[in-house]
Amino acid sequence: MDLSNENIIHVKKDGIEYLQFRKLLEYGDIINHAYSLGLDRNYRTARANKEKLDVETYEKAIKDYEDLCNSIGTKKEHLVKPNQNHTKEVKNVEKKININEPDFNLINYNNTDGLVTNKNNLLLATTNADCILLLFFDPVKKVIANVHSGWKGTVQRISIETVKKMKSKYNCNPNDIICCICPSIRKCHFEVDKEVKEIFEREFQDIQDIQNIIQEIEPNKKWKIDTVKINQILLQKEGLKLENIIDSKICNVCNSNLMHSYRVEKEGYGLNVALIELKVFEK
């Protein structure tokens, strides 16, 4: 099966499969990036409750990261990953903390769901099993960000927090910023109850067509919500150009034979990873 479309290329290389955005590949001399595929690979580095994995499982995850890194031409030692917790916290990364191993499970990145940097050879990583992952790139200022935005992060507008951080820290112009939306659960499968529906209605009263984004499917019991559309609208409001907000158009649940999905796998679910890194370049 090939998931390639007008925005995405499905790469199969030496037994490794991943997705890449056509737009970001235009800047292949500046950045590395990928979104992992494969149920035989699991990019989890800690248990869901943040406790340590057993040694064998952790070493398997490190090998999976290493294989993917090698495939896109980078090194696992460059990896920096936040300890995601459905927050709106976006942290700046100035340097690696562990010199010869990935920056995984570090207290420095507790309760953090986004990373941003303008330093090269820092391979920013986030993981998902249905939540939205956002890859940001400013080709003018040479700034990248990698952000985890589940429904709670979307309600907290972490995508906007990221753009604001890029503006304040690196003087980025939103008109220059590219945002690529990785595979995630889509409206076709994101069903919520009344409590969650009302949270979205309260938070996004400023979105004109919010009632079209929230669709009732079972009278007064179940609704479907298009969280991707909400993020697209938020990013446009913050100044990103429509043509620079690029959606993979891929649903984790619909493609659960190729990628991990919490709603399909339930307990013991695996994690996919999104990666982005600035290569060495002259400033």
In a domain, 193, yes or no: no
Contacts with 177 (C-beta within 8 Å, 6 or more apart), sequence order: 136, 137, 138, 163, 166, 240, 244
- For 162: left if phi > 0, alpha if psi spans -120 to 50, otherwise beta; the answer is alpha
Instruction: Kindly state the tokens that stand for 148.
Output: 């985890």
Q: Which residues pair with 259 in a beta bridge?
A: none
Instruction: Give the Cβ contact number of residue 270 at 10 Å.
Output: 20
In single-letter form, the type of residue at position 45 comes to: T
Q: pLDDT averaged over the chain?
A: 96
Region 136-164: mean pLDDT is 98
Instruction: Kindly state the tokens that stand for 260.
Output: 């991990």
Per-residue pLDDT for 28 more than 80? yes
Per-residue pLDDT for 49 more than 90? no
- Alpha-carbon gap, residue 219 to 80, rounded angstroms: 45
Q: Which residues pair with 145 in a beta bridge?
A: 116, 136
Region 59-71: mean pLDDT is 98
Local confidence band at 209 (pLDDT 50, 70, 90 cut-offs):
confident
Per-residue pLDDT for 117 more than 70? yes
Contacts with 237 (C-beta within 8 Å, 6 or more apart), sequence order: none
The answer to whether 222 and 213 have CB atoms below 8 angstroms apart is no
Per-residue pLDDT for 181 more than 60? yes
**Residue-level pLDDT at 282:** 47
DSSP-derived letter for residue 83 is B
**Residue-level pLDDT at 280:** 76
Per-residue pLDDT for 261 more than 80? yes
Q: What burial class does residue 194 get, using C-beta atoms within 10 Å of its C-beta: 0-12 exposed, 13-18 middle, 19+ buried?
A: exposed
Q: What share of the chain in percent tops pLDDT 90?
A: 94
Region 64-72: mean pLDDT is 98
In a domain, 194, yes or no: no
**Residue-level pLDDT at 281:** 56
In a domain, 228, yes or no: no
In a domain, 71, yes or no: yes
In a domain, 196, yes or no: no
CATH of the domain at 147: 3.60.140.10
- Alpha-carbon gap, residue 130 to 256, rounded angstroms: 10
Region 185-205: mean pLDDT is 96
**Residue-level pLDDT at 270:** 97
In a domain, 213, yes or no: no
Per-residue pLDDT for 257 more than 80? yes
Per-residue pLDDT for 73 more than 90? yes
Can you state the angle between helices 227-237 and 158-170, rounded to 10 degrees? 30
Per-residue pLDDT for 195 more than 50? yes
**Domain interval for residue 28:** 8-186+243-278
The pLDDT tens digits of the residues spanning 87-112 come to 999 999 999 999 999 999 999 999 99
**What pTM did the predictor assign?**
0.97
Q: What's the start-to-end Cα distance of the chain, in Å? A: 41
In a domain, 227, yes or no: no
Phi, psi of 98 (to 5 degrees): -85, 125
Local confidence band at 283 (pLDDT 50, 70, 90 cut-offs):
very low
Count of domains forming the chain = 1
In a domain, 249, yes or no: yes
**Residue-level pLDDT at 114:** 98
